[in-house]
Structure 1
Amino acid sequence: MSTYAVIVPTLNEAGNVSELVRRLENVLAGLDWEVIFVDDDSTDGTLEELQQLAQAKKHVRYLRRIMRKGLASACVEGMLSSSAQYLAVMDADLQHDETKLSAIFQALASGEANVVVASRYTGDGGTGEWDQRRVGLSKLATRLATYFLRVPCSDPMSGFFAIDRKIMEASVARIKSEGFKILFDILSIPGLPIRIQEVPYTFSTRQLGDSKLRYNVMVDFLWLLAAKAFGRIVYTEFVLFCFVGLSGVLVHLATVSALYKLLGFSFLISQSVATYTAMTTNYFLNNTLTFKERKLKGFPFVTGYVKFLLACSLGAFINIAVADYLVSLGLYWLFAALIGTVLSAIFNFFLAKFTIWRNG
């Protein structure tokens, strides 16, 4: 049984993992420690590198995850696989300053804190060579996250931190597994007896591999904010579905306007084409945002699209029939289209959730 564990999520970090182990061995020499890599089925040789390390070094372990993705869930699985009292999380890309681990673990072991955050925004910490755009986005995300925190923290979006096992056990069931900022999630859980301490560090520049900062990272963050903001009031998936539906309304009305007012098609044809155009964009967005935990890929994505159109046919029929009837009564076409769209949206969420993304 190790006293200290470092959890490192990996995805295509060949070359970095060996160097990280070497650095950890220097920093943590004399301590009872282990490092657990949690790999999301890398394809660049990372797994082979991890296997060699684990066979050669008793303090190196790794988990290979098949058909499962996500930073938060990887961290949780790594923590649960260890019996260590103190658990640190850091990236494999060598951008987190491993020399700070000594101070971080010392703060936990002394009882001064049960959560220790390596912060870019305190003391002499910094963001390194980030450009102004990335710095601005980071500070914006930090400011938004601050509104949901239960304890003050200068860098709740940090991916470099450590916690006492008792805090992990108390929070693990309430962590959003599809998120990417697990620290923010923990610090925003009500009722945890958190005593926080911060250690300044400067973010380093990646030398090998590709950055994992993609559009889906921001999607994950926005999803987590939505869960925090609406989780206790309404079903998060329904909130996201409504936002997607709102975009569908805009697509729908733009299509009706173009076909009916500009191109001279009948209202019935315009409304019909607009309905299925909006359904198509809604399917893509819902698959990416609303039901991202059960996201469809490959052939299931194609069949899911067909099922989505069929499942929403009832709502589409109501949409078209009601709107066309209202126009025949003399109602302005824009209001008729809007009413038909809103009525069909109520049906679409339940049909989509329980027929398309029920199992993923």
Structure 2
Amino acid sequence: MRAPLGSLVLRAPAKVNLLLKVTGRRADGYHTIESLMQKVSLYDRLELRLVEQWGVRLRCPGSELAEDESNLVFQAARLFLDRGTSSATAVAPGVEITLEKRIPVAAGLGGGSSDAAATLAGLNRLHGGLFSAEELAAMGLQLGADVPFFLATSGACWASGIGELLTPVETVLGVVFVLVNPGVSVSTKWVYDTFSLTGKGKGINLTNSRIELLRQRWGNRVAGQLPAGTDLENDLQQVTAGRYAEVGRIRQELVGLGASVALMSGSGPTVFGVFTDRQQAERCCQVLKERYSATFLAEAVDFDGLAAEDTDTGMQ
């Protein structure tokens, strides 16, 4: 029996990398990492509606995003429907998706991966939990290394491998993030490839003992609250900041406006500042928003982040 033709609205969160260390490069060209990733309350909004018409129809109003198979959301929906069609339980013939973007694109905040994860999770909910969490994560990995993280039920994870090996950790509490995007798009592939060149011969591979020390250190710091002055690390920051001087300037400005520490997220160029005083964070956000329109105030998300705004699972 096929699932009812229902609809679902989801909020897909952004993420920040509190720690990102490049540990090596595999034979297939993918880089291995050790990273502490935290979901934050900056969201894209997706509406999914199952329909009788076959196929995927995607709309991205107010943005310049592609609405075809080059979009990761389109790919996620197509993958789910194709996989579902081959299962014992029939799936809806098609889906209409409206994606409203708020997370900057190509910004180091994982917006595209989060949207893909929300699409997979949303379609799974609409089909009554057709696939297990492990099956969804495997599908997500086909779309991108960060997708399994956004499918995870925890707000924060230690990620290793290419980002797909996840260990849930405690969510960072007691801090507010100010996210600042300078308005340029950065290719993740370019950043990693450039890092490989600049890091050549410098021993980017970390020993297992060093990795364990990093995990222990961060495990102690993140339990409950991230203390002011905590050293954050991102190996990729040197690459992106080398081309885009705004990254360094924004970091300095965030600290000057009260952030205890500031760091680039992912492959950038978005920079986030960590504040323990919300009012100070709000003032900082107001000041920087005058020059950088993509400036946001956010808090850590202490759950999977894929919050449903409303549902309609009745027959159409």
- State the TM-score, normalized to the length of structure 2: 0.29
Larger radius of gyration: 1
Larger proportion of strand: 2
Which of the pair has the greater relative contact order for Cα pairs under 8 Å at 6+ separation?
2
Larger proportion of helix: 1
